[in-house]
């Protein structure tokens, strides 16, 4: 792809800055963080200092004031080296912060966004439940108004930053009789579960945020990939949420989080593409140096064909992803394109990483090379923020709607 198509000088400068950070600070620790399933607190501090935890938000709200394309570049460059770092930025920014930026009152924005955008605390999004995954409208968590509070009861599952985070946007049913129009969103706060680490690095905990009674982290997941990203349950047991923490109007929650997910899908496309690109770079380098039968294996046509296919599909993925981001940035409809980009890039990440492991032969199956981690990290891209099946449903609905129109 010609850089000039989507990138300005400023985009290229952002790319160079993040590329350098990924090479110097992420690459040396990625394998250890993965092996130990540790949240990258030291790098959270460094990314906060670089403004990477609030890339697309206005400077007056503590963000870096950059655009959506810049934000996609950040996720992409991090994921080329470590998907967990890319996901940390994506989940914190799109899922945790964007609903407050987009649907919050002035007071809510002033209270929460600077803390999130400046990387002072981590944010998350509580939508998925034990019985509500692809069927996002099947939310069981309830919110019952009592005077100046809502009482929330329910469990949210697979929540990125559920344990380490402090600010969450959580969905709950306020009127069961109205179906998806009876779902609302709330801002909930709790102290981080990793206070010692947060205090060590100087970000991750904000003492002025109230610990909402009855709201806590539950079981932490032990995952196949994205192991340096924190995934945890959130539990609400008669959680007492001030009425002023209602985010948007009552009943507006479903449409709001559908819009949030539309944006999130471009981020996961960018992350998936990064994994595919990282795997490709490793495979290209390895096959150019690894000798068998007296020559580098990249001299064999069978290997060349695989490298060519990877490079071609990556190029296609870049166009799909940056085009979806461009549409979103220019306030044009982008829901179909975001689903297409997410579907294509996540399946590409899986194919490309399997090929990269194969091209590394026996070494690819060991932890001496990063491609096995890339392969484990790729799988969830076909599942999280809407499975591949859901993306196909979303795309098909657009196709049929376009026809009807
Ligand atoms: N933007 C704005 N509004 C949207 C929307 C979108 N992307 N998608 C749906 N809506 C609106 C619809 O227009 C509809 O409004 P009206 O009733 O006024 O027409 C309302 O929301 C309900 O939509 P729909 O009837 O399509 O809801 P369904 O229950 O059929 O669900 C799918 C649709 C399956 C697409 C949805 O549940 C989904 O995306 N599921 C996947 C969720 C997911 O990604 N989970 C992982 C989360 S990881 S954080």
Note the maximum CA span of the chain. Answer: 79
The two beta strands, 142-146 and 215-220, are unpaired
Count CA atoms within 13 Å of residue 216 on its CB side.
7
Question: Residue 403 C-alpha to ligand 1 middle, in angstroms?
Answer: 19
- The token pair at 357 is 């492991």
The answer to whether residues 103 and 249 touch, using CB atoms and an 8 Å cutoff, is no
> What three-state secondary structure class fits 3?
helix
Other beta carbons within 10 angstroms of residue 357's beta carbon come to: 20
Question: Residue 298 C-alpha to ligand 1 middle, in angstroms?
Answer: 46
- Cβ neighbours of residue 314 under 8 Å, at least 6 residues apart? 273, 276, 277, 280, 348, 352
Which residue's structure tokens are 């009789």? 177
- Give 54-102 pLDDT, tens digit per residue: 999 999 999 999 999 999 999 999 999 999 999 999 999 999 999 999 9
- Give 175-203 pLDDT, tens digit per residue: 999 999 999 999 999 999 999 999 999 99
Q: Which residues line ligand 1 (CB under 6 A)?
A: 95, 125, 127-128, 133-137, 180, 254-255, 258-259, 261-262, 335, 384-386, 390, 393-394
**Distance between CA 403 and CA 2 in Å, rounded?**
33
- Cβ neighbours of residue 4 under 8 Å, at least 6 residues apart? none
H-helix or E-strand spanning residue 246: strand 246-247
- Whether residue 1 is predicted with pLDDT greater than 90 in this model: the reply is no
Q: Is 347 marked active-site?
A: no
- Give 260-318 pLDDT, tens digit per residue: 999 999 999 999 999 999 999 999 999 999 999 999 999 999 999 999 999 999 999 99
The answer to whether residues 373 and 30 touch, using CB atoms and an 8 Å cutoff, is yes
- Give 153-164 pLDDT, tens digit per residue: 999 999 999 999
CA–centroid distance for 52 within its chain: 13
- The token pair at 18 is 């993040």
Nearest atom (ligand 1) to Cα of 259: 1
**Distance between CA 375 and CA 279 in Å, rounded?**
8
Other beta carbons within 10 angstroms of residue 307's beta carbon come to: 18
**pTM across the whole model:** 0.97
Question: Residue 137 C-alpha to ligand 1 middle, in angstroms?
Answer: 8
């Amino acid at each position: 792809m010609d850089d000039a198509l989507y990138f300005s000088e400023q985009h290229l400068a952002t790319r160079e800055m993040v590329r350098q950070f990924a090479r110097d600070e992420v690459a040396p620790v990625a394998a250890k963080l993965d092996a130990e399933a540790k949240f990258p607190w030291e790098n959270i501090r460094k990314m906060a200092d670089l403004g990477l935890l609030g890339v697309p938000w206005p400077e007056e709200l503590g963000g870096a004031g950059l655009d959506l394309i810049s934000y996609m570049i950040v996720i992409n460059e991090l994921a080329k080296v470590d998907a967990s770092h890319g996901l940390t930025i994506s989940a914190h920014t799109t899922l945790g912060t964007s609903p407050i930026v987009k649907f919050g009152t002035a007071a809510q924005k002033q209270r929460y966004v600077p803390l999130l955008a400046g990387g002072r605390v981590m944010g998350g999004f509580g939508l998925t439940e034990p019985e509500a995954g692809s069927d996002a409208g099947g939310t069981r968590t309830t919110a019952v108004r009592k005077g100046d509070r809502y009482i929330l009861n329910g469990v949210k599952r697979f929540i990125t930053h559920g344990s380490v985070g402090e600010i969450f946007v959580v969905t709950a049913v306020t009127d069961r009789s109205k179906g998806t129009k009876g779902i609302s969103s709330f801002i909930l706060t709790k102290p981080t579960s990793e206070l010692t680490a947060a205090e060590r690095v100087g970000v991750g905990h904000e003492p002025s945020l109230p610990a909402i009674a009855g709201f806590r982290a539950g079981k932490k997941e032990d995952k196949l990939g994205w192991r340096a990203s924190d995934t945890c349950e959130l539990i609400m047991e008669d959680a007492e949420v001030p009425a002023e923490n209602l985010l948007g109007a009552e009943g507006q929650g479903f449409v709001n989080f559908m819009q949030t997910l539309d944006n999130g899908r471009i981020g996961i496309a960018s992350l998936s593409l990064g994994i595919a690109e990282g795997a490709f770079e490793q495979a290209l380098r390895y096959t150019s140096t690894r000798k068998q039968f007296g020559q580098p294996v990249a001299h064999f046509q069978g290997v060349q064909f695989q490298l060519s296919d990877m490079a071609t599909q990556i190029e296609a993925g870049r166009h799909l992803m940056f085009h979806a981001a461009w549409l979103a940035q220019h306030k044009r409809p982008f829901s179909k394109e975001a689903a297409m980009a997410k579907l294509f890039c996540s399946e590409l990440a899986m194919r490309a990483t399997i090929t990269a492991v194969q091209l590394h032969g026996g070494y690819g199956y060991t932890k001496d090379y990063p491609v096995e981690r890339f392969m484990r990290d790729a799988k969830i891209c076909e599942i999280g923020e809407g499975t591949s099946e859901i993306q196909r449903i979303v795309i098909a609905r657009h196709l049929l709607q376009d026809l009807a129109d």
